[in-house]
Amino acid sequence: MSVEDTTRASGATLDEITALAKRRGFIFQSSEIYGGLAGLYDYGPLGALLKRNIKEAWWRDMVTARDDVVAFDSAVLMHPAVWKASGHVDAFVDRLVDCRVCKHRFRADHLEKPDVCPDCGSKNSFTEPRNFNLMLQTSLGPMEDSASRAYLRPETAQGIFVNFKNIYQTARKRPPFGVAQFGKAFRNEITPGNLTYRLREFEQAELEFFVPDDGADLKWFDHWVQARRKWYADYGVKPDRLRFYELSAEERPHYAKAGVDVEYLFPWGWGELESIAHRGTYDLDAHMRLSGKDLRFFDEGSKTHYTPLLIESSAGMDRTTLTMLVDAYEQEKSVDPNGKQTERVVLRFHPKIAPLQVAVFSLARNKPQLVARARSIEAALHEELRTQYDEGNIGQLYRRQDEIGTPFCVTVDYETLEDQSVTVRHRDSMRQDRVALDSLKEFLDERL
Ligand code: ATP
């Protein structure tokens, strides 16, 4: 039976997302009680689940479901020579300017008007641009000198490149094959902001896919572009808010043969979620040059050495999590069963990534029989599903679960004790079905 009538509106503001994220325990400012730190956030109980589900979806589709991708997990701190070879020590810089009047600092390439400070409005108040390296430094061991300097990695990929030989030999893989890993990365961003979009500590999911130079490399590039397109579609990202932007030769690094940026339409405009790039032999060559070690692949069949070409997919898990939150957010006007106008906020997460999948309610708090029955139903579902028990005012309970994106609510009422059935309420349509208890699990499984 359908009980409520709805009209949809979408497109949340960043303030609305930020407020919901805090109110419902998705995202908190890091070290909030001390005033917070720019560009650093913590995930609350629901946000941590959401991010974990997204990462699991990535891992399942990019690694577990395939037989040509192996797992990897490298250290955050690496030999400083790694960052010399990769080019990060010399070239991982943003151009920085300071306003002499208000002392605020900006990325030169982000300024809309190059001679007017966007914060205080002063004209011609900027200092000359200077290079600012985005790598965060620390030192290893008891002495703080240049010999002990180490960098917190600004990307996870280099750990895979320097281990390329270890990996292919021990995993007994030959190109085409890939190596995937999750990991924290750190960048001393000049202007962090937009909630978790631009962070100073963030998490990447990277796939480095090595292919032979046999003429099929651009097909592999295309394969990964399509695979990633399917991935976002499979988890329900709205197609009109997602674009795959093809980089021109001028926009790509000189060594890259092809590149696509995956972008999402955030409340403030398009922003990059992932970069997919054909990087040629650039990365392995750079490490071979500086280390003097041979990282080429040895082909047992032809007894020849060659350097494989690289197709990379590098996605930010915090930006993907923010995307799922923004994309799922909808504010709806609805008419309740009594004809009253109401409004609800609902997160229409795909069931696979929703933090919780089923909430089980007892209609009354003070009826031990109802509470016991609801708790036992929830405990049984909990073995395989992400569930939560709650009790009290059903209208309020529904609103809360809508706001955290739980696809189904199951209510135990007085009739349940007599007819062994429950009310299942659908998040998206607000439809309510009466379902026999012995088929409840099947009913939910089919829809999750
Ligand atoms: P941007 O142009 O936004 O600074 P980028 O082109 O430098 O990003 P890449 O080096 O290609 O980013 O990193 C791959 C992915 O890592 C990005 O698509 C993004 O999802 C994520 N990422 C990069 N920098 C940050 C950051 N400061 N905060 C959160 N995620 C980030």
Q: Is 259 close to ligand 1, i.e. is its CB under 6 Å away?
A: no
- Domain covering 14-82+149-325, topology: BirA Bifunctional Protein; domain 2 (3.30.930)
List the end-to-end C-alpha distance of the chain, in Å, as a whole number. 20
From the CA of 170, how far away is ligand 1's center (Å)? 31
Mean pLDDT for each consecutive 10-residue tract of the chain (448 residues)?
Answer: 38 94 97 97 98 98 98 98 96 93 91 90 93 95 86 98 97 97 97 96 98 97 98 98 98 96 97 98 98 96 96 98 98 80 93 98 94 97 97 94 98 96 97 97 97
Nearest residue (CA) to ligand 1, atom 11: 275
pLDDT of residue 339: 81
- Residue 356 beta carbon below 6 angstroms from any ligand 1 atom: no
- Residue 190, sorted as left (phi over 0), alpha (psi -120 to 50) or beta, turns out to be alpha
DSSP secondary structure letters along 180-192: EEEEEEE---SS-
pLDDT of residue 5: 39
Half-sphere exposure of residue 282, counting CA atoms within 13 Å on the CB side?
Answer: 17
Q: Atom 18 of ligand 1 has which residue's CA nearest to it? A: 274
DSSP characters over 38-81: TT-EEE-HHHHHHHHHHHHHHHIIIIIT-SSEEE----SB--HH
Cross-strand partners of 330: 10, 346
Query: Is residue 373 in contact with ligand 1, taking CB distance under 6 Å?
Result: no
Query: Comparing C-alpha atoms, which of 202, 209, 427, 406 is closest to residue 320?
Result: 202
Question: CB of 391 closer than 6 A to ligand 1?
Answer: no
Residue 274 CA: nearest ligand 1 atom is 18
> How many other C-beta atoms can be found within 10 angstroms of the C-beta atom of residue 109?
9
- Picking from 370, 369, 363, the residue whose alpha carbon sits closest to that of residue 397 is 363
Find where tokens 């073995």 sit: 383
pLDDT digits (tens, 9 = 90+) for 261-302: 999 999 999 999 999 999 999 999 999 999 999 999 999 999
Q: Whose CA is nearest to atom 3 of ligand 1?
A: 272
Residue whose CA is at the smallest distance from ligand 1 atom 23: 316
Q: Which residue puts its alpha carbon closest to atom 25 of ligand 1?
A: 198
Same fold, 14-82+149-325 and 356-447: no
Decide whether any atom of ligand 1 lies within 6 Å of the 69 Cβ: no
What is the structure's pLDDT at 337? 64
Cβ atoms of 346 and 428 within 8 Å: the answer is yes
Given CATH 3.40.50.800, say whether it is the number of domain 356-447.
yes
Peptide linkage before 308 cis (omega within 30 of 0): no
Handedness of CA 247, 184, 98, 117 (dihedral sign): positive
Of 196, 199, 237, the C-alpha closest to 329 is 237
Mutational test site, ligand 1, from 247, 268, 319, max ligand atoms within 8 Å of CB: 319
**Domain residue spans in the chain?**
14-82+149-325, 356-447
Cβ of 221 less than 6 Å from ligand 1: no
